[in-house]
Structure formats: structure tokens, C-alpha cells
Amino acid sequence: MASIADELAKKQKEISVSEFFERNRHILGFDSQVKSLIMGIKEAVDNSIDACEEADILPEITVMIERIEKDEFRVTVEDNGPGIVKKAIPNVFGRLLYGSRFHAVRQSRGQQGIGISATVMYGQITTGKPATVISKTGKEDVAWRMDIMVNTKKNLPDVLKEDPFIWDGKEHGTKITYHMNGRYVGGKQSVMEYLKQTAIVNPHSRIAFVDPDGKRTTFERATEKMPPATKEIKPHPSGLELGTLMNMSKETRNKTLGKFLQLDFSRISDRLAKEICEKADLSMNANPAKLNLEELKRLLAAIGAVKIMAPPTDCLSPIGVNLIKKGLRNVLDEVRPEFYAPPVTRDPKVHSGNPFLVEVGIVYGGGLPKDSPVQILRFANRVPLLYQQGACVVTKAIESTDWRRYGLEQRGGSGIPFGPAIILVHVASTKVPFTSEAKEAIANLPEIQSEIELALRICGRSLKTHLNKKETKSKTRVKFEIVQEILPLIALKSAKIVGKPVPKLSGSITKIMNVVWIDDSVSYEKKHHRVRVSIYNYTPQSQKFNLHMVIPPGSFDYKGLQFFPSEVRDDGKVSWELPKIASTERLDINFSLNGLNKEDYDENEIYASGINPVLIIGAEPLPGDWDVKGMQITESEEAPVQEEEDEEVDYDESKEALNDD
Amino acid sequence: MASIADELAKKQKEISVSEFFERNRHILGFDSQVKSLIMGIKEAVDNSIDACEEADILPEITVMIERIEKDEFRVTVEDNGPGIVKKAIPNVFGRLLYGSRFHAVRQSRGQQGIGISATVMYGQITTGKPATVISKTGKEDVAWRMDIMVNTKKNLPDVLKEDPFIWDGKEHGTKITYHMNGRYVGGKQSVMEYLKQTAIVNPHSRIAFVDPDGKRTTFERATEKMPPATKEIKPHPSGLELGTLMNMSKETRNKTLGKFLQLDFSRISDRLAKEICEKADLSMNANPAKLNLEELKRLLAAIGAVKIMAPPTDCLSPIGVNLIKKGLRNVLDEVRPEFYAPPVTRDPKVHSGNPFLVEVGIVYGGGLPKDSPVQILRFANRVPLLYQQGACVVTKAIESTDWRRYGLEQRGGSGIPFGPAIILVHVASTKVPFTSEAKEAIANLPEIQSEIELALRICGRSLKTHLNKKETKSKTRVKFEIVQEILPLIALKSAKIVGKPVPKLSGSITKIMNVVWIDDSVSYEKKHHRVRVSIYNYTPQSQKFNLHMVIPPGSFDYKGLQFFPSEVRDDGKVSWELPKIASTERLDINFSLNGLNKEDYDENEIYASGINPVLIIGAEPLPGDWDVKGMQITESEEAPVQEEEDEEVDYDESKEALNDD
């Protein structure tokens, strides 16, 4: 066998990472002509927004696609970012696995140092042409223009040409032009859709797009305010693995275990470091680099045994409740849905040292198609995910939720449910665990799946409440209609028989109905929202209770009011102490909201207190603890509403083993 | 901005490939404790079988899992392969992207040079312990034992210890032992299931497995014959891309374009090379290394414009019809399905220069669950795929086939169909385009999807034929039962009324039925298959026709025959010239099959000729061209049946754009 082993040994050789991806470019997402065109633009735009945010610049991005031949396109992406210094340009664009964001624990779009150089490589594979990069770092600096190719055998950049460049009127920024074989299409998975969704969840960006026919579309900036900058943090100790701890202890600059624990991790205080060292039976003064395997194992066990605070939230940048609503609205086009479940933003959790958080929104009904699977919108770190839905933990979490409990149709209680709904899920993390370098789907990590499921259930319950309310209301209405139709007939007949006048019936009707019926509407005219709430007392007694609504803070219009509220709170809660309403009587409340966009308010949230909840149709009972449970303040993008409710989910890996196929 | 650009430039750095995968180990499939244990074993076993096949050795593989602590396991995989020479051992096990199979155009399980070193890396990350490798290349050679870790910062092996080793009684082979955190489970996605499925489609392998409780299971070899060795070939010119052509033309040793075309590609003859050069307006004697971009583009266009033979099949190793049946039977356990659609092995096609072929098998009915989605079994290069079904082109192809046409339930005609069926799909290729380095799902390449869809439709049509036959038979039976019940009653009553004797009814019944009814059965007793075929003539005329069956070649038993066939062909076709069967009469044919395993024959295939096919229930009309159409010879593992039928599918990329989400 020695000769065969020798023979095989001769063939053993190193494979360069670019050579690997040259042959496996589908792993990078370049697996069809349609997709390749989108992928390349996505990589360039993600980089541009990341760079602008790092330099605290409002992004201005222009994307242009020109058709050169039937299949060949020239793509140009230009930004107003900080620019790239001359000596870094070749590596950034001409070398795979080279970048600035890989080693940082911080939320960013690019993390791998692969995307843009892979785009350059794919362009050269399909057209034989280099990419041209122009970059300028400041007013006084000269811009540089370089023609770059990836030397795939060595994974190093080949700079074919390099010139100083006069970039008229441009203070700073980067512009990349590459050629690529591709196919330009419209529809759900297209460059246009990717840019549109990107613009929605990055409203501080201005994105202009010139399509191959020369048609220009501009997604204007919706806000001049940068999203809060995400902070770089130290790794969180939750889910730390032995190998990582070993590496960190060997490489730390801190010479004592105490300092190492406090300074190399987030959320470990001096007190906690002491507690850990005690549990591990190690000295605070031990040299971390000299710990042996046994000691490191004890240390890891001790870290796992103490209670550590959740990671800080400022390393993450949620989309926020308002933009989630907006994102949902975008895909709805002209379809007016009947219900938006209040979006949920969960508290940050940790997967192997990396903080992450989950956001979910659901819309239901209206013109959405009833007889097809629900539509799923996925985002990761504010980047829309258009492909590989089937491989994504988001899909897995939706599939393993029993939607029959929340009013959607689902055969056997698993799988993608059917019904007129759209489910939006955003996962933000300092490290999104994508299933492949193409960053199309999020891997099925138990911690993430469980968080998504919890958020889905909270939204699901809102949906169910809505559907129940709708059903109760519709049943009551049917009863009401029957009673109103039949009772007068009986009365008429009876009166005729006994020869007496027809009796007044409202008393009897109210006895049979025995409800307080609340009807409401919102309309938008002349830049005002008009809200109307009508309260019908169909009970035999007079009723006196309080009514509460939630409106966007600061929008309540006191002008022209006929019936003043008893309280208008800063957080948007408005309350009325209603006067006594006699049996069979009706009371109307009308008011306006000022200074909102049409889409900022489209459904009233009405609560009642001081009355037996079973009597009320059309309002929810006011939750006991107003601020914590049940109510959602719908205008709080910076400090998204945290659902406090935490169903404990006993994560069971055997379930994973059964489900993941 | 210059200062920010400088700041960012300081953070720019190279990321080593092992560092990348250390942080992205879920991309390698190490994303849960259950899966990690399976992944590591899969990488080791795949390597062992590959090495044995390359050295023409019948594989003997032992897998042992020992529990060390609650979550920590020690895994040992030992083979009898050719061994690895001493100097290659560290790189093979301690360095990512290093291997012998990446650069070869040839079907093998390992292709990336990542799997086994990733396993070593994951083991050390979770337990801090090195892997131990022992390898011996020949009787006279000494074995070497090494403790190896991956230096992730540099992507280089660290050899902690290295000793010569006395390997008692072992002539050659490799044994790897590593520690890993994991979780051991049973079920559909488990080490046991992976090994079982591997054994089934690699029947030349003997695989022993010792589980953490010390229980030993051995999957014995089912054949002593190695599968035909797959040949390494040159790239096929179909789907060649410009960049690849550029690289090849620069690196070729051939100094003339003519030689370059003939020797660096498969299926280009001298004549074809001339044709290509003429079309491209290039000289056969041009130096390929000196062609410019324009000339290369013309060359590529010319290659695309000539007709090139399909790639040779001997670089691929299909599973074959028999093993597909066996693989299906395995998952059925005690469930006896009513129907096996004859498996289909398609002719090889090409995706970007790489030959591939698709095989499909379907079973239906019996005890399979009726009210759940069909079960999907996926294989790639004879390796079972247990995870990421949702991301796989196999699933995509199944979902985009309209199964309602083939008798399965499917809402809206797309999505995974429901019904009592299992669909098995195997993709074999010199390069399987996996969606990620974990090799769990095959990327959605249009060429592959279209081949799978064609194969599915052929199998689907067999299924539909079966279901139609079943329905016709059952309808006829109902009619028959009604006629047999009612006619005698009418006859009795009429006879009574007119005072005459009850008439004989069989004539009338046959007039109403007007069918030749064929009933058949197979049983297995005392190592023989007993076949019974009964032919009832329920037509008013006497009938004379020929009956044909397909049996495994060589199994027909002439002993004890009452009614001799007119012909028993080598390919398994058996024909009878039936005597005239009078109206209302019945004829029985009984025979036995010898030397088969129980599962080798379980359903009769019956054809009739020389009679109007509409008269026959229970047999198919004999196809006009016996050898080509319709009939499947079920014993031909080496030369699998090629379905000649090729529905031309106009592949439409817009469909891809719509479907891939």
C-alpha cells in the first residue's frame, strides 16, 4: 500500500481560499445569472452603508446597471463614505477573507471580508475584465483609481493599473465598477426589491438606482437622523466554549485572572470575577496564560454557574416598531390589511458570546390572499434576505409554531401556515450565524430559534385576540340583527291578537342583548386623522365607566373638542371618564390627531375600565398594570417596546433532531 | 475623512481560513450538539471509503463512540485504507483547505479538503484536546501516531507528539481518535441512521459501530465486488465560463490551440477542434497562452456553437436500480408498500464542465402514512444527506412538480405533496455543488433541478399508471360484484313470475362485463418465490392471446411446471402462448423463481399482446418496442436502465427567479 499512499500524497496540496470559492461560487450566492447580479450589488451596498455608519455620515448611494452585451452588465456602486486609504484598496477588493469587521464584536452588515472581493472575482470569471475602484478619503487628498483582479491561485490582488484621479466635486467616497454576466429581472427577488427593502429599514440612507433602461428611481431619505451608533463590546461570557477560553487566556494582555475576566469580557464585575475565581478554586492573581486544561475547565464551569447580566443593548440596532410597520406596509402595495399585530422587539440574548435580538411583526387580512402560504419577510442586521427561505431558522421557527392556536390554517399543526398574513422577522446580532458565505439564511441555532418562536407567539396572541374580537363582534351583530328583526314582528302580531298598541321594544332588546357595544373608525382627511367612537348601551341598566385609547404621543388635538378627556399622558394614553349612559342610549366621542403621516395611525386601540368586561363588545379590558402588560406604545423607535412576558421554553434538543429535515 | 479612513485601515487585516471557520463553525455543520457528533463521524467515514476505493480495497470501517463526561465523547474511526504517508498526516488532519480530491474531475465523497480538519478543530474548540491519528501504509512500514491540533490563527497543524507505533496485526489503514462535545441520540437524524444509509448504498463496505453503551452493530458487506472505479476525466466544455477558459489557456502545457482543445477537455476530437477554430477564426497552431480577451471570447462562443458529445459515464458511479429499491425498503421497516415505481437513472449531463447524473425512486401505499407530507430521501455521491432538506435542489424540484397529475395530493399544485409515498433522489457528480461547506444540501442549479424534475416525472407517470390500474380494477370489481349480486336476483324473480326454470347467467354476466380479468400474486416460502396468475374470460367470446412477464434473469424454475412458457429470455422476459380460453372459463399459470432474496421480487409485471387492450384488466398492453419503452429490467445494477424518453424542458430562468424563495 505504500506506493498507493505515496501516490495519493503527491496529489495532496493546499487549496487557496479564492480557488476554493472560484469552484464553489454558488456557496457565495453566485449560482444563477439572476441572483449573481443581485448578490454583487448587495455586497457593495452593504459595505457602503456600513462604512458611512462607521464614519457617522448619512449614506448617499448610487447604483447603476448598464447592459454591455446580451448577458454582460456593467455595475457601478458609488457612495459618500469615508473612502479607503490607497494601500488598503487592493486587499479590500482583490483578496478574500480580508476585512475590518471580522474581529469586532459589533453589529454590522459585512462581517466576513469575502463579499466584495468575491464579486470582483465572479465578475472576472464571467467577463475576463477587472474591477475599477476609485476612492478618496478627504477634500485635500487625491483620489486613486485602480484596476484590480483577484489572483485566485494565490488569493492576492493583482493591480493592473493605478492612477491618481481628479474626482470633481467629490469630497470623499468610494466607487466600484465591475462587469458581470447576469440577467436583469423585476419581481419579488430583484435588484429593485432588494434596494427598496434596504431603503425601508435604513431610512437614513438615500439610494438612487439607474436600471439598464436608464430609468432612475430614488429612494429618498426618510430621516436626517443617523440610527444610534452600535458600540463594539467585549464577548459576553454566555455560551463560551473551552477552546475560545483557551485562546483568549493565552492571548490576553492582562496578567491576572481577575483583570482578564473583568476586561476581556462584558458584564463581569470585580465582585463577579471574585465569585468565579472562588467557585473555580483559582486565585484572582493567577496568570491566565499559564492555566492548564483542568484549571480552564474549572474556570469555564464556574463562569457557567454564576448569574451574569444580559449583554448591553447598545451594540445592537433593532429596526424598531415603526419601521417594521412600514416594511410590512411596503409589500402590501394597495392591499389594506384589516389588522397589524403590534410588533414585538425582544430583549437581547446571547449565542456563543454574541448578543442578538429578535423582532417580529404580523399583518393580517384585507386583500391578502387567503388560500396560499403566509408570506415571510426576513431581515438580518437590517439587510433583507431574499433567498434560501427554506434553509433559514426564521422559517424553521414559523414552521414549528402551532398557528392553529392563533387562527391560521396549518395542516397537522406544523409547516408554513396558510392564510391572509405576512410575517416579518428581523434578527440583529454582533454575529449573525449565516448558513453560508452567501449570507442568505440564518443557521438553525437553538437559542435563536427559541427567541423567534417566543416573539412569534406574542404576535400570534395579538392576532388571535383580534380574530376572537372580530368573531364575537360578528356573532353579536348577527344576534342583534335577528333580535331586531324578529322581536318587532312578534310584538306586532301579539299586539294585533290582543288588540293593544304595539309596545316599545328597546327595553326587551337590551335585556336580550345585554352588551355595551362600541363602534369606532379612523379616517384621514386634510392632514388630520379623525377618530370616532360610538358607545351604545344595550343593557337594561344605565352604565358608567372609563374609556382609554392609545395614540401616538403628542398628536392629540384639543381644538374643537366637544368632550374633553380626563387625562392625556405623554406616553400616548388618553382616558375619558364617561358620564352615565342610560339604557338604550348612545354616546359619541370625536377627536382629531395632528401632525402624523397617514400610515402612522390606522387602527384604534380601545380599552375600558370600571365595568364588567363581559358586558363590553369592541374594547379590551384595561390591563391591571398599564405600562407593563398588554398595551403597546406605538411611537418609540429609539426605545422599542420590550415585551416583558417570557414564556419559559424548555428547549429540547431531541425536538431539533426530529424537526431539522 | 482621512483620519477615519486611516482608522478603518488599521483594522483591516487578513482572516485565516481556520479562524473564519472557527467563528462560523455552523457553516461546517457544527451547529448543534446532536449534529456535531454526526458531522464528525460522517467526515471521517466518507474519507475512509474514498481512500479504500482509490486503493481498490473493500472497506472495513469501525466507528466507536465512548462517553467521557456528560457532554464529552471520544470518537474513534478506523479503516483498512491505504494509509497516509508520515509527512502528509499533519496537513491532512490539521489544516483546512488541504487535500487530494479538490483538483480532480472525478466523483468522490470528499472534495473540499475541509471536513476532517474541521472535525479536529471543532473537537479542540469544545474539549481543548488534540486528535490522535495512527496511520500505516504497508506491512513492512512502521505505523506513526501523532497528536494534532489546528493552529487556527495560522491555519497550520501543530503536532504535539509524534511516535512510531506497533499496530498489531494491521497491514495498512488509518485510525483517528478525537474528543468532542456532543449529544448522542437515535431516530431519523442520528449516527446510526447515517451509517445504516451509508451501508445500504455502499454494499461493498463492512461498517461496525459501537455506541456509547458499548452495543455493537455491524452492517455486513452485501457484495464482495467493488463498484466500478470512477475515472478521472478532463473538464467537459459545456457551460465553460470565460474566466475558467482564460486560466486554462494560460496554464496549459500544450503549445497549440488544437492540442489544447483536444487534450485539456474531454469529448473534443481533432475534427471538432478544427471546427471550433474555424468558427472562432483562430489558427489551430495559435499559442493558447497568448490569446487576448477578444480572441478568447470568440473561442468560447465557438465552443458553445458546436455539438459536443455528452461526457463519458465512467467518471460517475450511480447507485443503481437494485440498491435504490433496497434503500427505499430499508426506511420502510415493516411497512409493506403496495407499489415500487421502477427507479430511473438518467443519462449524464453537465453543469459548468462537471458531469452529473440523477437517479430517482418512488414507493407508494401500503402502511405509509396517508396524511403527512411525502418522505424525501436524498443522496449525493452515495452519501446520505440528513439535514437542510429545505435548502436542497432536490426539495425544490419536488416542490415545483405538479404531483396532482401523478395521483398525490398537493395544495395549489406546488410544495411538498401529501400522501403515502417516499421519494428517493441521488445526485452523482464529479463536483456536487453543495450550498455550504457542511455538504448538507445541493445548490439550486437550473441544470440539476431540470434533470431531477424529468426523472421525477418519469417515476411519477409509473405511479399514475399504477394508480389508474388500481382504480380501474377496483371499479370493475365493484361493477362485477353488483352484476353478480343483482342479476341472479332478477333472474330468480323473473323465472318465478313466468314460471320457468332459472336461466344460466354466466353468458349474460360476461356480456355485461366484457373483460378478461387477470388476478396475480407472489408469495415467498422455503427460499422460493411462488407466482400465481389466474386469467378469467368474462367476455362473450372465447379469447386467445399471449402473456408476458418480467422476472429477474436466471431465476425461472422449470421444475414442476404444468404450463411451459414459449420463451424465457436472458433479459428476464418470459412469454406464454395461451391456449384458447372459452367464454366464462378460467386459466391458471403457476411457477416458481429460484435463488432470490425475498425482497428481490415482490410484484409481478404482466403484459398482454394479441388482444384488444381495452378488454384486459390486470395486465398492461405489451409495448411495441419491447426493449426500449415501458419495460424495466430489474436486475442490472452495473448497467442501469436508461430512460430514453426525454421531455424537452425549456428552462426558463424567470421561473427560477419566482421559485427560489
B125/A390 touch (CB, cutoff 8 Å), yes or no: no
Taking residue A457's Cβ as centre, other Cβ atoms within 10 Å add up to 22
Report whether pLDDT(B633) > 50. Answer: no
B9/A35 touch (CB, cutoff 8 Å), yes or no: no
Q: Could you read off the pLDDT of B354-389 as tens digits, one per residue?
A: 899 999 999 999 888 888 899 999 999 999 999 999
Q: Which of A2, A387, A658 is facing B138, going by the closest CB pair?
A: A2
Task: Tell the residue number behind the cell numbers 474581529, with chain if given.
Answer: A103
Sheet containing strand B556-557, strands side by side = B556-557, B586-593, B528-538, B515-525, B616-617
Report whether pLDDT(B265) > 90. Answer: yes
Q: Which of B128, B172, B183 is facing A653, going by the closest CB pair?
A: B183
Q: What are the chain A neighbours of B91 within 8 Å (beta carbons)? A: 12, 14
Q: Taking CA atoms, what residue in A is nearest to B112?
A: A20
Q: What are the chain B neighbours of A126 within 8 Å (beta carbons)? A: 241-243
Confidence of residue A1 (pLDDT cuts 50, 70, 90): low
Domains along the sequence of chain B with CATH:
17-219 (3.30.565.10), 242-310 (1.10.8.50), 504-621 (2.60.40.1170)
Beta bridge partners of B304: none
Query: What's the rounded mean pLDDT across residues B171-195?
Result: 93
Q: Which of A141, A372, A658 is facing B187, going by the closest CB pair?
A: A658
Q: What is the residue-averaged pLDDT of chain A?
A: 86
B97/A24 touch (CB, cutoff 8 Å), yes or no: no
Query: What's the rounded mean pLDDT across residues B139-166?
Result: 92
Q: Can you tell me the ipTM of this complex?
A: 0.77
Mutation target among A4, A91, A108, A136 for the B interface, most CBs of B within 10 A: A4
Beta bridge partners of A588: A534
Q: What are the chain A neighbours of B431 within 8 Å (beta carbons)? A: 23
Indicate the burial class of B169 (C-beta count within 10 angstroms; 0-12, 13-18, 19 or more). exposed
A657/B185 touch (CB, cutoff 8 Å), yes or no: yes
> In Å, how far is B258's CA from the nearest CA of chain A?
22
Report whether pLDDT(A404) > 60. Answer: yes
Report whether pLDDT(A632) > 50. Answer: no
B1/A34 touch (CB, cutoff 8 Å), yes or no: no
User: According to the model, what pLDDT value does residue A278 have?
Assistant: 96
Report whether pLDDT(A647) > 50. Answer: no
Non-local (6+) Cβ contacts of A643 within 8 A are A344, A345, A346, A455, A458
Give the rounded percent of residues in chain A with a pLDDT score beyond 90.
51
Q: Could you read off the pLDDT of A174-225 as tens digits, one per residue?
A: 999 999 999 999 888 899 999 988 988 888 899 999 999 999 999 988 888 8
Confidence of residue A475 (pLDDT cuts 50, 70, 90): confident
Report whether pLDDT(A657) > 50. Answer: no
Indicate the burial class of B493 (C-beta count within 10 angstroms; 0-12, 13-18, 19 or more). exposed
Q: Which of B35, B100, B187 is facing A8, going by the closest CB pair?
A: B100
Q: Which of B2, B185, B412 is facing A654, going by the closest CB pair?
A: B185
Identify the DSSP state of A630: T
A32/B188 touch (CB, cutoff 8 Å), yes or no: no
Q: Could you read off the pLDDT of B481-518 as tens digits, one per residue?
A: 787 788 788 888 888 888 888 877 777 778 788 889 89
The span from the CA of B287 to the CA of B256, in Å, is 5
The span from the CA of B262 to the CA of A380, in Å, is 49
Which has the higher per-residue pLDDT, B246 or B512?
Answer: B246
Residues B370 and B407: beta-carbon distance below 8 Å? no
A128/B243 touch (CB, cutoff 8 Å), yes or no: yes
Q: Say which range, A61-65, A497-501, B641-645, has the weakest mean pLDDT.
A: B641-645
Main-chain phi, psi angles of A575, to 5 degrees: -125, 145
B436/A431 touch (CB, cutoff 8 Å), yes or no: no
Calculate Rg over the CA atoms of chain A. Answer: 31
A247/B152 touch (CB, cutoff 8 Å), yes or no: yes
Element (H, E) at A520: strand A515-525
B242/A113 touch (CB, cutoff 8 Å), yes or no: no
> In Å, how far is A306's CA from the nearest CA of chain B?
20
Confidence of residue A466 (pLDDT cuts 50, 70, 90): confident
Kindly give the interhelix angle for B242-251 and A115-127, rounded to the nearest 10 degrees. 80
Q: Could you read off the pLDDT of B607-618 as tens digits, one per residue?
A: 899 998 888 888
Helix, strand, coil % in chain A, rounded to nearest 5: 35, 25, 40
Q: What are the chain B neighbours of A55 within 8 Å (beta carbons)? A: 1, 4, 8
Confidence of residue A642 (pLDDT cuts 50, 70, 90): very low
Report whether pLDDT(A585) > 70. Answer: yes
Q: Taking CA atoms, what residue in A is nearest to B50?
A: A8
Report whether pLDDT(A430) > 70. Answer: yes
B661/A88 touch (CB, cutoff 8 Å), yes or no: no
Longest dimension (CA), chain A: 119
A242/B125 touch (CB, cutoff 8 Å), yes or no: yes
Q: What is the residue-averaged pLDDT of chain B?
A: 86
Q: Taking CA atoms, what residue in A is nearest to B150?
A: A243
B34/A82 touch (CB, cutoff 8 Å), yes or no: no
Q: Taking CA atoms, what residue in B is nearest to A16?
A: B97
Q: What are the chain B neighbours of A13 within 8 Å (beta carbons)? A: 98-100, 103
Residue type, B529: H
Q: Could you read off the pLDDT of B515-537 as tens digits, one per residue?
A: 898 988 889 888 899 999 999 99
Count of residues in chain A: 661
Q: What are the chain B neighbours of A154 within 8 Å (beta carbons)? A: none
Query: What's the rounded mean pLDDT across residues B31-38?
Result: 91
> In Å, how far is B77's CA from the nearest CA of chain A?
19
First-to-final CA distance of chain B: 40
Q: What are the chain B neighbours of A51 within 8 Å (beta carbons)? A: 8
> In Å, how far is B547's CA from the nearest CA of chain A?
45
Q: Which of A26, A103, A113 is facing B445, going by the closest CB pair?
A: A26
Non-local (6+) Cβ contacts of B294 within 8 A are none
User: According to the model, what pLDDT value does residue A165 have?
Assistant: 92
User: According to the model, what pLDDT value does residue A362 have?
Assistant: 93
Confidence of residue B465 (pLDDT cuts 50, 70, 90): confident
Residues A64 and A153: beta-carbon distance below 8 Å? no
Confidence of residue B624 (pLDDT cuts 50, 70, 90): low
The span from the CA of A166 to the CA of A178, in Å, is 20
Q: Taking CA atoms, what residue in B is nearest to A354?
A: B23
A137/B2 touch (CB, cutoff 8 Å), yes or no: yes
A445/B15 touch (CB, cutoff 8 Å), yes or no: no
Which has the higher per-residue pLDDT, A408 or B612?
Answer: A408
The span from the CA of A528 to the CA of A555, in Å, is 10
Query: What's the rounded mean pLDDT across residues B233-250?
Result: 89
Interface size between A and B, measured as CB pairs under 8 A:
306
Confidence of residue A661 (pLDDT cuts 50, 70, 90): very low
Query: What's the rounded mean pLDDT across residues B222-251?
Result: 87
Q: Which of B15, B152, B242 is facing A126, going by the closest CB pair?
A: B242
